Amino acid sequence: MGIKSLSQLNLQNAKVILRCDFNVPIKDGVIGDAGRIVASLSTIKKLLAANCSVVIIAHLGRPKGEVKPELSLAPIAKKLGELLNQEVLFSPEITGISDKARALKSGQILLLENIRFLSSETSKEESERMKLANELSTYGDIYIGDGFGAVHRKHASVYELAKLLPHAAGDLISGEVAVLEQLTKNPSRPYGVVLGGAKVSDKIGVISNFLDKANLIAIGGGMVFTFLAAQGKEIGKSLVENDLIDTVKELMIRAEKLGVKFLLPIDIVVASEFSADSLPTTVDSDQIPSDQMGLDIGPKSAENFALEIKLCKTVFWNGPMGVFEFTNFSYGTKVIAQALTQVDGMAVVGGGDSAAAVRKLGFADKDFGYISTGGGASLEYLEGKELPGLIALS
């Protein structure tokens, strides 16, 4: 799918509408990880260099069409201004500001309030989304899509709006797609995939698709207990999706038939409660006590995974190995992150929680081949799904 890039448009002195993904962790107005804001700078700087005026549309969280002050983008306007070293104007109104948007001078940036405060942005009704897109399209003459984290959504500002104006993908989306193509078309081998996170249900499609492509699949995180349960092991109070046990059994049989190395943890760090203060103990993965829950892969498993990862030429990792937010249960994730920094080839950290985890654990973005900004979008791309936001930019 040929996506238009910035260089294919004449941007000189243009009035640009830019869709970004500023879905960052924010608490009491303080931004926890500004990774996604930083990721948008390349495109914004190019637009400023071409003397454009820029109206930015972005989302934060899932306010479901209601105004939620704690999900306001006002702190993000401030942060973006600091990063660019210039004022970023902020509009609490999202609609009815055509005159204000059109009055922007070259080099000025206006960030609109959280687009998801409007129910029409995410509406299932195409006519409602179209009405909003028509209104937004009056704010500029060119549309640049650069919110990779939202391209798997058929939302007004991602899908319909792109079709109404001359359009292109920003540097972030172009970069993400290039990396994902490399992971799906002809990756250097051995090719390893490390998957974690809480739920198997989120990753079934990806695992299934990767069985035909990868040489190694390693599973950690909360989803591992559905696999252990499928092997008939006692998992205590650990997270499990019982309705997926049969599916998981089929995946493991398929892996064996295809000769894919399928790694599950041999030891687990358990505790009696899901809490930062819980005391950790390490047990074999078939010896989890009935009153305990698994909160991280064990140290032997982490080392085992790390050894295999370092032998790979291409690695894709999505999802932490345990509850990395709690120091006592962050070791597995840290060992995996460390191994990815030592891959002789391409190592991709696949968005969302994994990106937040590596930064929280003290790694720098440059330590990895690539850090994706879109967890769900990356996974759907790697599942082989068509993404509406990318189709609209073709």
Are 251 and 336 in the same domain?
A: yes
Residue 159 near residue 129 (C-beta atoms within 8 A): yes
- Separation CA 205–CA 376 (nearest Å): 12
Quick one: pLDDT at residue 353?
Answer: 82
Quick one: pLDDT at residue 382?
Answer: 87
- Separation CA 370–CA 372 (nearest Å): 6
Are 132 and 241 in the same domain?
A: no
Are 251 and 326 in the same domain?
A: yes
Query: Checking DSSP bridges between strand 89-91 and strand 109-112, what pairing results, if any?
Result: parallel
Q: Which among 267, 35, 69 is positioned nearest to 148, based on CA atoms?
A: 35
Are 313 and 355 in the same domain?
A: yes
Are 219 and 149 in the same domain?
A: no
Quick one: pLDDT at residue 304?
Answer: 98
- Tell me if residue 15 is catalytic: no
* Domain end position, chosen among 171, 206, 231: 171
Backbone angles phi, psi at 114, to 5 degrees: -40, 110
DSSP lists the bridge partners of residue 316 as 193, 348
- Separation CA 349–CA 361 (nearest Å): 14
Q: Domain tally for the chain?
A: 2
Domain of 141, in residue numbers? 6-171
One-letter identity of residue 49: A
Which residue's structure tokens are 């359009």? 167
Are 165 and 32 in the same domain?
A: yes
- Tell me if residue 131 is catalytic: no
Q: Within a domain: residue 389?
A: no
Cβ neighbour number for residue 365 with a 10 Å cutoff = 14
pLDDT by 10-residue block (mean), the chain, 394 residues: 88 98 91 92 98 98 95 97 98 97 98 98 97 98 96 97 97 94 91 93 91 96 96 95 96 97 98 96 97 98 98 96 96 97 94 84 91 87 91 94
Are 160 and 251 in the same domain?
A: no
Give the domain CATH number at 80. Answer: 3.40.50.1260
Are 128 and 22 in the same domain?
A: yes
Residue 297 near residue 268 (C-beta atoms within 8 A): yes
Q: Within a domain: residue 125?
A: yes
Are 242 and 301 in the same domain?
A: yes
- Tell me if residue 102 is catalytic: no
Q: Within a domain: residue 353?
A: yes
Residue stretches of the annotated binding site: 21-23, 36, 59-62, 116, 153, 203, 294, 325, 351-354
DSSP lists the bridge partners of residue 192 as 216, 315
Are 104 and 198 in the same domain?
A: no
* Domain end position, chosen among 171, 189, 221: 171
Output Rg (C-alpha) for the chain, integer angstroms. Answer: 22
Q: What is the pTM assigned to this prediction?
A: 0.88
- Separation CA 155–CA 133 (nearest Å): 9
Q: Within a domain: residue 309?
A: yes
- Tell me if residue 36 is catalytic: yes
Quick one: pLDDT at residue 1?
Answer: 54
Q: Within a domain: residue 394?
A: no
Are 145 and 236 in the same domain?
A: no
Residue 158 is given by DSSP the state I
Catalytic residue, from 352, 374, 375, 389: name it: 352
- Separation CA 40–CA 84 (nearest Å): 11
Residue 5 is given by DSSP the state B
- Separation CA 92–CA 173 (nearest Å): 27
